[in-house]
Amino acid sequence: MRIALAQLNFHIGNYQLNSRKILNAIEQAKEQGADLVCFSELSTCGYAPMDLLEFPSFIDQSNMLLEKVREASESIGVLIGAPRKNPELPGKRLYNSAFLFHEKKLLGFTDKALLPTYDIFDEYRYFEPAKEIRCLVFKGKKLAVTICEDIWDLVQTDPIYNYLPMDLLMEEKPDFAINLSASPFSWAQPARRREVVIANAKKYKLPFFYINQVGGNTDLIFDGGSLVADKMGEIHEELAMFEEDLKIFDIDDINKKEGIGRVKSLDKAELIYKGLILGLKDFFKKSGFSKAILGLSGGIDSAVTAALVCDALGAENVHGLLLPSPFSSKHSIEDALQLAENLGMTCETIAIEPMYETFIDQLENSFGKTAFDTTEENIQSRIRGILLMAYSNKKGYILLNTTNKSEMAVGYGTLYGDLAGGLSVLADVYKTEVYELAAFINKDTERIPVNSILKPPSAELKPDQRDSDSLPDYDILDRILFLFIERRKGNQEIIAEGFEPETVNRVLSLVNNSEFKRYQTAPVLRVSPKSFGSGRRIPIVSVKGM
């Protein structure tokens, strides 16, 4: 039996596009002699559709697409993920299902059993868990079909479900296993995904097909990397990462272990880079925009953001504004101009000193002669935000936010100022990781000026300002933040790792007291195992001592 895996980039709710992609893949699989073509989880509507699932018309369009798939299944089997109406209410209105078609007939369906409700996932809000778990039969073969989460609990240190769907499917003695997934990307996910597939293949001693989605949907990025493993748990082959792919596998070859084992392990910086590029491309394309604007400061964050968006959209679609204040250094302006020249993007300079002085003069009537403090710093940042948003409004460009995860975590940013934007590009990338990205971007030639990388980080909102005046050094700060955010360790646990108690308590206080800012910022492209946004839900008004 020849099985095709169709790893495609779907657009949520764009049934015309999704239909064209699915039907084209079916025809391609037919032409290449496949017996069965498999698509990812919720392929018809895209993942994750969230509250769109509550609209009857949304489900009706998915069902109409399934009818097209059924008609196209002449001479080939099609296994595809889609929502299914629950005919036996009470209960949730829908199931998250996989449908098997062949010769224009529905051979059967299976429903997702384990519904993740943690981190970025909220599937139990919409779906009923499977009431029956059974194999699907195709051309005399029994298929153990599962959907994404159904196979992941096997490798959890602390399992969160009370059974494994594959254990029940094995009672029917299946011939091979297929998992339809929409597994969101993080830099740790490709290795974790291989671990899951290998563990399942080894335990159940079955050839294992894992088909994943690819593409960006708002903050979530899907990296593809679909896998095939033999019954001994060795990777037979891996599909392309961060791009669409379709490959056909002969089950006999897999049983004979005649695969090429194409598994290329990318380092962390390259994974993050490619994930952000895909996230940027699809955010713009699927939102109907093509051009971006951002502020250029001469610092590393704006430089890395500019390089990423130029690579994603093309430099001709990126414009930068240099907005020097009275405290901007000459070398920062020079570095920003050099960056724009290196990348081939356009830029212009608007000095904000006259506007800043006007604000100060006007506010003196209310404030009197008061000492310079964060008020004056934030005025500069908000003037920049106004100018950038004015340009965005007038030209129809998306303003990109350049704040990194370290700054976002501790609130080192100004609401309605440098935190403004339609999309946060680096807000899931710690400052130390930004430097790693800069090194990757510069690996072949100097695109980001070396001075932007080597100089001490500074907001340049007052004379001789440095980030280290307000924050611990980033190598220390980022390690504390990682333990707190990604590892969910409290202050005493982090102190036990060898950090100074005063530093730990101050950092955690900054994180906790900045929650209100994060509630008001742009969507964050997710590239880590624990990102800000839907994946980390902390009340603003709570006692946050941990």
Q: Given the DSSP bridges, would you call strands 227-229 and 208-211 parallel, antiparallel or unpaired?
A: antiparallel
540 touches 519 (CB < 8 A)? yes
Q: List the catalytic residue out of 21, 38, 45, 112.
A: 112
Judge contact between 115 and 123, C-beta under 8 A: yes
Q: Strands 94-102, 105-111: parallel, antiparallel or unpaired by DSSP?
A: antiparallel
- Is there a contact between 539 and 546 (Cβ–Cβ < 8 Å)? no
Set 148, 286, 407, 489: catalytic member? 148
Is residue 148 annotated as part of the catalytic site, yes or no?
Answer: yes
Distance CA(140)–CA(45), nearest Å, equals 30
Cβ proximity of 244 and 278 under 8 Å: no
423 strand-pairing partners: 400
Q: Is 112 a catalytic residue?
A: yes
Spell out a b/e string for 24-59, using b for 16 or more CB atoms within 10 Å of the CB, else e. Answer: ebbeebbeeebbbbbbbbbbbbbbbbeeebeeeebb
Residue 284 neighbours by CB under 8 Å, 6+ apart: 290, 292, 312, 313, 398
- 45 as an active site residue: the answer is no
Q: Which residue is catalytic, options 21, 38, 41, 237?
A: 41
Phi, psi (5° rounding) for residue 36?
-145, 135
Q: Which residue has the tokens 């017996």?
A: 35
Contacts of 358 (CB under 8 A, 6+ apart): none
Q: Which helix (H) or strand (E) holds 108?
A: strand 105-111
Active site residues: 41, 112, 148
